[in-house]
């Protein structure tokens, strides 16, 4: 069972939230672009309609001015005299409010007759007409050159009411029978042209104005539009001799929020989409909250799994590993990727036990339930080391109550077993200490009880020896009655008995002092003297066991500082062990072994000055010491002999260590064992520090 990492869930949730935000931004942008494009399209339609209206307005003005020209021509052809001309001219002005003044001038521009509009006072009342004759002259010159009507540039006429108006003149030559007979001059009001010559359907809802090329407004008809969404169309009114710019401004037809059905439909769909996005966003927030809670729960569970020291392992119904926690991976020294989807045999099973484990697992997995009390087993780490474990297994049930596999809790009990082993060893040491204490008490008791029998034996031996000598020296006894060989043997035997009795007393006394931890007296003893003291007993036992004894004594070996009796006992004990180790061992001629040989070697310690440490070695040709025996070789009460007590080597090491030396053993090639110990040389500068290597 693999679970996603909590950080991956949080990152995925964050990325999904970012995608939702991006989606909403894109949708809003798309909707905004659609509405903007629809508005732009509607605006272009309005602008195009306004441009067409402006063009039609210019056409209407041109048409109106052309009709006026026809009216002027008809007026001139019907009336030949200035007196009769005024009446029909006044009628013309009543029908054309855009004309402010109508004049009939001669070919020399002399004023013959004129008529002012009846709708207002004369526009030239303030300035007078004569001041503007230069403009009329220029316009009529242009008309004569063009052989048709010509228009002047506009000019401003102030009025008595404090206001004014912008006007321009039209000059049309009067030609009769090919001869120029005069001019018809009409003064137009720009503002009235916009009001009279433009159709009402075109002027409705718009502001019309004449402007110059630089944008200066000359005349205005209608209310000017204000604001940002004002549509403007400009058209040139190109007249002979003058050019005006017609400007049309309109707010009519400006697109509202929903300029047409399509935009309204798009907007409605956009609102519906926004509502759906809002619902999805709310659902996403709920999901994110649930995912956040799930992530927190997974993180808490992951932290617990990483912190527990118990190994967790899950298997499916086919025995494949589906989950392991870090504690289990650390326990067996294998990565999780190498364990997942692994079936039998598992990589942490010892090869020699894989078959047994597989049969046991098949039996366990075939059942419907497993014992919950647990069972002990042995696992193997990657480096091959074995360690005991306690396994507790239980069925794995999913959320719907279906049995999907088995989960195991695994405890490493190697430390517990080590503690139990240490406890047993401590108990053994306590028992050994108690036995040593008992041995000490027994040694004290025996030393006290045996001193008297040994003293008696020594006294009896000395007395018997004195009696024999007295008998041999009795006066008057014939010399031929004496038996010198028998007497000599008895004298030697009685002397030996006395010596060994005295030696036994010294040994008992040394043991008593050793047990009671009293200050021992050490003396300088020649190594040869130590050998001579134990050689009678060593030779006696070597004859009994068929062992040949060889002594190797370095000639320049100095005296040692020691407790003579205890060191002699160590030499004797090691010699006896060496001779006993060679029992039942055959000779090996191919290896250079000729019989059973015990070698006693004394020389300065290797690697040290000869005056500081002396090495004593006892070398046998036995079978050697096995690894199992070597682990407990110096342990009190451990012995390989049926009649042994297991105290010999332990006491020997204690005696040597009290002298500052070191007792060790090594294999003797080609076969056998070397027991060696060191003693400080007499007069050495440092007789308490034992050599570390020799």
User: pTM of the full predicted structure?
Assistant: 0.41
Kindly state whether residue 418 falls inside one of the protein's structural domains: no
Kindly state whether residue 149 falls inside one of the protein's structural domains: yes
Count of alpha carbons within 13 Å of 550, Cβ hemisphere only? 10
- Enclosing domain of residue 39: 1-307
Between vectors from CA 531 to CA 526 and to CA 536, what angle results, nearest 5°?
140
- CATH of residue 204: 3.30.450.20
Kindly state whether residue 693 falls inside one of the protein's structural domains: no
Residue 223 DSSP symbol: P
Are 290 and 369 members of one domain? no
pLDDT at 485: 62
Rounded Cα gap, residues 168 and 155, in angstroms: 6
Quick one: CA dihedral 191, 196, 199, 201, positive or negative?
A: positive
Residue whose token pair is 């005299």: 81
* % helix, strand, coil for the chain, step of 5: 50, 20, 30
Of all residues in the chain, the percent with pLDDT exceeding 70 is: 75
Residue 401 DSSP symbol: S
Q: What is the DSSP string of 104-134?
A: EEETT--EEEEEE-TTSS-TTTTT-SGGGHH
Cα(first)–Cα(last) distance of the chain, in Å? 62
Least confident of 28-42, 90-104, 131-145, 310-324: 28-42
Is residue 258's pLDDT more than 60?
A: no
Are 100 and 227 members of one domain? yes
pLDDT at 448: 53
Rounded Cα gap, residues 373 and 392, in angstroms: 6
pLDDT at 428: 65
Are 288 and 328 members of one domain? no
pLDDT at 588: 47
Rounded Cα gap, residues 660 and 687, in angstroms: 7
Question: Alpha helix (H) ranges present in 516-596?
Answer: 527-545, 564-581
End-of-domain residue from the set 307, 323, 358: 307
Of 67, 97, 66, 61, nearest to 202 by C-alpha is 61
Q: What is the pLDDT of residues 547-589, one digit of tens each?
A: 999 999 988 888 999 888 888 888 988 998 888 888 877 654 4
Phi, psi of 415 (to 5 degrees): -65, -40
Report the mean per-residue pLDDT for the chain: 78
- CATH of residue 436: 1.10.287.130
Query: How confident is the model over 491-520, as a mean pLDDT?
Result: 64
Query: How confident is the model over 420-440, as a mean pLDDT?
Result: 66
pLDDT at 693: 33
Of 169, 165, 92, 168, nearest to 126 by C-alpha is 165
Q: What is the pLDDT of residues 228-248, one digit of tens each?
A: 567 888 899 888 988 889 888
Q: What is the pLDDT of residues 35-90, one digit of tens each?
A: 777 777 777 888 888 889 889 989 999 999 999 999 888 887 776 777 788 888 88
Q: How confident is the model at residue 616 (pLDDT cuts 50, 70, 90)?
A: very high
| Residue 155: alpha-carbon gap to chain centroid | 87
Are 84 and 212 members of one domain? yes
- CATH of residue 663: 3.30.565.10
Q: How confident is the model at residue 687 (pLDDT cuts 50, 70, 90)?
A: very low
pLDDT at 188: 92
Query: How confident is the model over 420-429, as a mean pLDDT?
Result: 73
Q: Are 223 and 217 in contact (CB under 8 A)?
A: no
Residue whose token pair is 């029978």: 177
Q: How confident is the model at residue 170 (pLDDT cuts 50, 70, 90)?
A: very high
Rounded Cα gap, residues 320 and 362, in angstroms: 12
Is residue 689's pLDDT more than 50?
A: no
Are 384 and 446 members of one domain? no
Rounded Cα gap, residues 287 and 12, in angstroms: 12
How many domains is the chain built from? 4
Residue 481: burial class (beta carbons within 10 Å; 0-12, 13-18, 19+): exposed
Query: How confident is the model over 251-264, as a mean pLDDT?
Result: 57
pLDDT at 690: 39
Kindly state whether residue 657 falls inside one of the protein's structural domains: yes
- State how beta strands 548-553 and 597-604 pair: parallel
Residue 520 DSSP symbol: P
Out of 16-30, 229-243, 460-474, give the one with best mean pLDDT: 229-243
Residue 22 host element (H or E): helix 6-78
Is residue 99's pLDDT more than 50?
A: yes
End-of-domain residue from the set 263, 287, 307: 307
Are 104 and 213 members of one domain? yes
pLDDT at 344: 74
Q: Are 499 and 506 in contact (CB under 8 A)?
A: no
Q: Are 373 and 411 in contact (CB under 8 A)?
A: no
Q: Are 129 and 167 in contact (CB under 8 A)?
A: no
- Cα distances (Å, whole numbers) of residue 441 to 427, 459, 508, 519: 21, 27, 13, 18
Of 325, 498, 296, nearest to 408 by C-alpha is 325
Are 291 and 202 members of one domain? yes
Are 372 and 447 members of one domain? no
Is residue 138's pLDDT more than 50?
A: yes
Query: How confident is the model over 432-447, as a mean pLDDT?
Result: 59
Q: Which residues contact 392 (CB under 8 A, 6 or more apart)?
A: 372, 373, 374, 408, 409, 410, 411
Q: Are 163 and 252 in contact (CB under 8 A)?
A: no
Q: How confident is the model at residue 440 (pLDDT cuts 50, 70, 90)?
A: low
Are 533 and 615 members of one domain? yes
Q: What is the pLDDT of residues 260-275, one digit of tens each?
A: 666 677 777 777 877 8
End-of-domain residue from the set 497, 519, 541: 519
Is residue 617's pLDDT more than 80?
A: yes
Are 385 and 284 members of one domain? no
Out of 94-103, 414-423, 443-452, 591-600, give the one with best mean pLDDT: 94-103
Rounded Cα gap, residues 270 and 468, in angstroms: 144
Is residue 456's pLDDT more than 70?
A: no
Q: What is the pLDDT of residues 514-559, one digit of tens each?
A: 555 555 678 889 999 888 888 888 888 888 888 999 999 988 888 9
Instruction: Record the tokens describing residue 473, joined without a space.
Output: 């020296």
Are 169 and 277 members of one domain? yes
Is residue 9's pLDDT more than 60?
A: no
Q: Are 13 and 294 in contact (CB under 8 A)?
A: no
Instruction: Return contacts of 86-92, CB within 8 angstroms, 24+ apart.
Output: 86/113, 86/115, 89/113, 89/115, 90/115, 90/118
Are 122 and 204 members of one domain? yes
């Amino acid at each position: 069972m693999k679970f996603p990492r909590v950080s991956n869930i949080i990152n995925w949730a964050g990325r999904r939230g970012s995608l939702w935000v991006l989606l909403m931004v894109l949708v809003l942008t798309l909707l905004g672009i659609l509405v903007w494009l629809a508005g732009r399209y509607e605006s272009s339609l309005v602008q195009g309609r306004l441009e067409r209206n402006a063009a039609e307005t210019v056409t209407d003005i041109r048409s109106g001015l052309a009709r006026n020209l026809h009216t002027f021509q008809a007026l001139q052809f019907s009336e030949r005299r200035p007196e009769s001309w005024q009446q029909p001219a006044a009628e013309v002005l009543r029908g054309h409010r855009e004309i402010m003044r109508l004049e009939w001038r001669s070919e020399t521009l002399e004023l013959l007759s004129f008529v002012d509009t009846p709708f207002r006072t004369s526009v030239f009342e303030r300035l007078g007409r004569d001041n503007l004759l230069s403009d009329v002259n220029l316009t009529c010159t242009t008309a004569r050159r063009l052989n048709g009507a010509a228009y002047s540039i506009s000019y401003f006429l102030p009025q008595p009411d404090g206001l004014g108006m912008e006007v321009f003149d039209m000059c049309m030559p009067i030609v009769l029978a090919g001869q120029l007979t005069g001019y018809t001059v009409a003064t137009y009001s720009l503002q009235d042209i916009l009001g009279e010559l433009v159709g009402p359907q075109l002027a409705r809802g718009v502001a019309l104005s004449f402007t110059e090329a630089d944008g200066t407004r000359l005349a205005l008809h209608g209310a000017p539009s204000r604001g940002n969404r004002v549509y403007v169309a400009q058209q040139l009114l190109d007249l002979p001799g003058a050019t005006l710019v017609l400007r049309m401004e309109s707010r009519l037809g400006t697109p509202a929020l929903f300029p047409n059905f399509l935009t309204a439909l798009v907007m409605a769909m956009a609102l519906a989409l926004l509502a759906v996005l809002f619902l999805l966003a709310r659902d996403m927030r709920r999901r994110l909250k649930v995912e956040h809670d799930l992530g927190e729960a997974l993180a808490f569970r992951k932290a617990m799994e990483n912190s527990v020291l118990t190994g967790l392992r899950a298997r499916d119904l086919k025995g494949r590993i589906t989950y392991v926690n870090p504690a289990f991976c650390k326990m067996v020294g294998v990565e999780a990727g190498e364990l997942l989807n692994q079936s039998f045999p598992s990589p942490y099973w010892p090869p020699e036990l894989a078959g047994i484990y597989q049969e046991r697992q098949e039996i366990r997995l075939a059942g419907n339930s497993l014992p919950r009390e647990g069972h002990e087993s042995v696992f193997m780490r990657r480096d091959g080391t074995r360690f005991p474990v306690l396994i507790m297994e239980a069925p794995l049930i999913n959320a719907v109550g279906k049995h999907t596999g088995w989960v195991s809790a695994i405890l490493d009990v190697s430390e517990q077993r080590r503690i139990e082993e240490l406890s047993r060893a401590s108990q053994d040491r306590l028992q050994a200490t108690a036995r040593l204490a008992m041995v000490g008490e027994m040694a004290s008791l025996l030393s006290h009880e045996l001193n008297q029998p040994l003293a008696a034996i020594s006294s009896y031996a000395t007395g018997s020896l004195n009696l024999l000598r007295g008998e041999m020296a009795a006066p008057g006894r014939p010399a031929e009655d004496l038996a010198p060989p028998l007497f000599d043997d008895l004298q030697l035997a009685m002397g030996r008995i006395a010596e060994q009795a005295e030696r036994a007393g010294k040994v008992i006394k040394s043991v008593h002092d050793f047990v009671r931890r009293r200050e021992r007296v050490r003396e300088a003893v020649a190594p040869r003297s130590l050998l001579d003291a134990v050689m009678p007993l060593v030779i006696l036992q070597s004859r009994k066991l068929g062992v040949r004894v060889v002594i190797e004594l370095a000639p320049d070996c100095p005296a040692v500082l020691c407790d003579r009796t205890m060191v002699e006992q160590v030499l004797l004990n090691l010699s006896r062990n060496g001779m006993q180790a060679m029992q039942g061992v055959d000779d090996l001629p191919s290896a250079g072994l000729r019989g059973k040989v015990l070698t006693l070697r004394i020389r300065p310690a290797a690697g040290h000055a000869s005056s500081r440490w002396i090495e004593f070695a006892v070398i046998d040709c036995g079978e050697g010491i096995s690894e199992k025996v070597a682990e407990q070789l110096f342990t009190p009460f451990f012995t390989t002999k049926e009649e042994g007590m297991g105290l010999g080597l332990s006491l020997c090491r204690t005696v040597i260590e009290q002298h500052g030396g070191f007792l060790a053993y090594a294999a003797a090639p080609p076969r056998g064992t070397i027991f060696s110990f060191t003693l400080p040389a007499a007069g050495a500068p440092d007789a308490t520090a034992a050599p570390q290597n020799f």
